[in-house]
Amino acid sequence: MTDLVKIREVTERYNIPARTLRYYEDMGLIESARIDGYAYRLYDRQALKRLEQILILRKLNISIKDIQLIFGAEGSETVLEVLGRKVEDINDEVALLRDLRDIILEFIEQIRKMDFGSDDDVKLLYERAAAVETRIENIPYEGNASKVNRLFDISEKLKKAPEVRIVRINPFKAFSSGADSIENVMGPFQEWQEAHNHLVKKMIYGSPDFLSFEGDKAVWIWAVEDGVTREDVAPYELIEFEGGLYAEAMSVDGDDDIRNRVYAGILKWIEESGFELDERPWHRSMGHMLNPSEEIKGALGYDQMDLYVPIKIRERK
């Protein structure tokens, strides 16, 4: 046992959580040793060397999926291919940042040409800045329109991937709009829900409600208090939501919705993780709008919406 290192010593030496070490092992990247009568995982020199390789590759933003490919391949071709793709990604980002710098410098030059000794010019600058805060396309811009369009394109591409976390939603009873048009769900159903808010289950973080889509139709569900019956929610449905595992990330209403960047980022995260989509009935992607006070919303400048994508642990082949 003298050549074996305890899991606690490994986590302290490399400054990583024990759960990360166990995750690497679950993904087949490293192996631990077990000794009869000893409950904890132990690691030999070969495992520590492999761990160091993993940590280096992760610092280079190499995905777990690509690390698996690298370790499973013979020779250096695979690692060179993976690193080559990473260099291409960095080159693309550098090019975008250069374009962004040039556009900002052009705007700076336009501002320099303004006469700040003139009250009219200062007022104009203030009005334009205020317009940016509300809706940038309303600015009376007389410059190069292609530059503005390029700025929008660059800023979209430079947006970072969303931070994803795994959550488990417990089963609950809910009343449902059923699959209906967006107009009816956001109209008659929402009005009915507001009139029957006493049926909604009260939670510390707000009412647990989720909105999902089926083609061109939407389904909105609201968790209800115990004892609510089908008669109480008529003419709408009373369902048993079975819950499950979800990959969750925050979106900003009006900027990203369930079909845009955040959703795509969650799917990419799932592809590179040890999970896969759970495509059973009722396991569909959903949105939950957080409803802070108008004061908080005003301070933020936007609504917050959490996106949930159903997942399950990927079966190892």
> Per-residue pLDDT tens for 114-138?
665 666 666 666 555 544 444 334 4
pLDDT at 255: 44
Model confidence at 33, pLDDT cuts 50, 70, 90, reads confident
Quick: pLDDT tens for 243-286.
Answer: 899 999 887 654 444 446 788 888 888 888 888 888 877 678 88
Question: Is residue 140's pLDDT more than 50?
Answer: no
Total Cβ atoms within 10 A of residue 98: 11
d(CA 278, CA 269): 14
| Mean pLDDT, rounded, of the chain | 77
d(CA 298, CA 305): 15
Total Cβ atoms within 10 A of residue 253: 14
Cα–Cα nearest to 289, from 186, 138, 137: 186
Taking a C-beta distance cutoff of 8 angstroms, is the pair 31, 72 a contact? no
67-71's contacts with Cβ under 8 Å and 24+ in sequence apart are 67/29, 68/27, 68/28, 68/29, 71/29
pLDDT at 117: 60
Question: Which stretch of 19-33, 34-48, 125-139, 268-282 has the lowest confidence by average pLDDT?
Answer: 125-139
First to last CA, the chain: 32
Question: Which stretch of 32-41, 85-94, 148-157 has the lowest confidence by average pLDDT?
Answer: 148-157
pLDDT at 254: 45
- Rounded to two decimals, the pTM is 0.55
* 282 burial level (CB within 10 Å; 0-12, 13-18, 19+): middle
Tokens for 123? 């007022």
Model confidence at 70, pLDDT cuts 50, 70, 90, reads confident
Taking a C-beta distance cutoff of 8 angstroms, is the pair 262, 251 a contact? yes
For the chain, domains (ranges, CATH) are 5-71 (1.10.1660.10), 79-157 (no CATH), 165-313 (3.20.80.10)
Question: Which stretch of 18-32, 49-63, 125-139, 165-179 has the lowest confidence by average pLDDT?
Answer: 125-139
Residues 6+ apart with CB under 8 A from 44: 3, 4, 5, 33
The whole-number average pLDDT for the span 141-170 is 65
pLDDT at 235: 92
Cα–Cα nearest to 236, from 288, 193, 289, 282: 193
